Structure 1
């Protein structure tokens, strides 16, 4: 069996102060890997610095990390993909351990779960938001990871080539996690050190606006992947409201054979109809989702498992 082709993917935007250190760290940790830096419209010298550091530099004009990941996954052909932000916050020395675990255990994704003692590296607002979103994902999809927002991940070829990438921004990590959970892929986590950014590098993540976008992504993916439960819950609430309005009317009609509040009766009837429509819409969409999931599963199975064989 030949050695796997490893590609290190580093999305970045205005990371002149950190990209050379990031490239050097991954080159030392994975000497045989090809290191790709995907620049996302940087206005500083990120491109020149990355090229001088020995990386293969490419550009994506559509702004947003999700757009960069879509381009990277489409363009790069490899057996193992190591993805990390180009801001020198992730521990490059841990990369061989993540890659080895992926291959030895034939996993499709290994997440570098962030551990840090530096408040400047991992702000409290980000920590709290990550815990809330991780817990919500676990409640909605039945299982989760300890750090769904980590940008440090190692993927198999079959993961990358079966992942459609629909997100445009920082919600991409959530979409990646849901893709793995819905296809029931074998995955793992490894605790890795998380560092403060070098001087001159600033975080592009907004605690509140990006947090709400990630929350919206979780709800949207739940609606898409679990339509029967999503629309069934809405239908159940509408049915309960209809019963709350209709039972007093039914009791009155039983005793008097009159319907004194006709508008309320019409509303209760309409709510029951809406509840039934929600249920049947969820049932139909659930059938569609099962078909889509089968197609993704077949695309996933079209590639060998990590460690099986390499061309």
Structure 2
């Protein structure tokens, strides 16, 4: 089978959502500028009460490759990334990168993700693959992440090992096919949502091993509501997926044409 020829990546937007990350942001931006000097860094600040937005403005004032989008308030990781994707699509970028502002995603590994994007539509910086690693996580955090990914993989029938990972690179051509206007997920579930959309759109999804390092400064945004949203949504999508498989088997057995699969994230 011939691999489709993909356009070279000449313009890359690195999206950095922030909420109370004033101490981490300058270091992360400096590392990004060193690791991918030809990329543009777009900080998406949700009106951080600790003054992160002002720190971001100072960084942007000293570097034309850095800019800041001031959002009205905290709306969740998913909404911030969707706003960043819209900018990347509107302004003609070839790729959009998701990266955390807390340093847990190492900017020095971004060139590896972008290199893999030469032969893919979506690249996930994966922890739970051969060569991947997580540092400074307690046992219960590892168990939660591994369990969530196993549950997602089995229930949704995907071959992706780290669907919850937040370090990613997308071709903007791929984003255009993924139905982003229907995305309603906000937190932890957002990454699963986009992974499933990419798989269902027939896109090439590649996992590249990374070393994830738990933040040293600040407080994690992971909360019970975020985990609950992910569990509820994945269970719902999984039931729909398995029900569609059963319907397809019944229809084949009775000689009828299969009905179209339910649309992800659409009102029904």
Q: How far off its partner does 1:60 sit?
A: 3.0
* Aligned with residue 287 of structure 1, among 248, 259, 264: 259
Structure 2 unaligned regions, length at least 5: 1-6, 61-65, 249-255
Matched, 1:79 2:85: no
Name the residue aligned to 2:198: 180
Label 1:44 to 1:215 Cα distance change in 2 as closer, same or farther (>3 A): same
* Aligned with residue 64 of structure 1, among 76, 79, 82: 76
Matched, 1:39 2:45: yes
Structure 1 unaligned regions, length at least 5: 233-282, 294-311
Distance 1:134 1:38 in 2: 27
Distance 1:170 1:60 in 2: 20
Label 1:44 to 1:34 Cα distance change in 2 as closer, same or farther (>3 A): same
Q: Is the 8 A contact 1:134 1:144 kept in 2?
A: no
Aligned partner of residue 171 in structure 1, secondary structure: helix
Deviation string 1:237-274 (CA, Å, 9 cap, x unpaired) is: xxxxxxxxxxxxxxxxxxxxxxxxxxxxxxxxxxxxxx
Distance 1:221 1:59 in 2: 33
Name whichever structure is richer in helix by fraction: 1
Aligned partner of residue 160 in structure 2, secondary structure: coil
Q: Is the 8 A contact 1:40 1:63 kept in 2?
A: yes
Matches within 5 A, 1:78-227: 78-103=93-118, 105=119, 107-114=120-127, 115-116=132-133, 118-119=135-136, 122-163=137-178, 164=180, 165-199=183-217, 201-206=218-223, 208-224=224-240, 227=243
Name the residue aligned to 1:4: 10
Higher CA-based Rg = 1
Label 1:138 to 1:39 Cα distance change in 2 as closer, same or farther (>3 A): same
Deviation string 1:147-196 (CA, Å, 9 cap, x unpaired) is: 22211001111222223132122210110111122223111111112223
Q: How far off its partner does 1:226 sit?
A: 5.3
Q: TM-score normalized by structure 1?
A: 0.68
Distance 2:110 2:160 in 1: 19
Distance 1:2 1:116 in 2: 29
Distance 2:237 2:85 in 1: 20
Name the residue aligned to 2:3: none
Q: How far off its partner does 1:79 sit?
A: 0.2
Q: Is the 8 A contact 2:135 2:211 kept in 1?
A: no
Count of aligned pairs between the two proteins: 237
Aligned partner of residue 7 in structure 1, secondary structure: strand
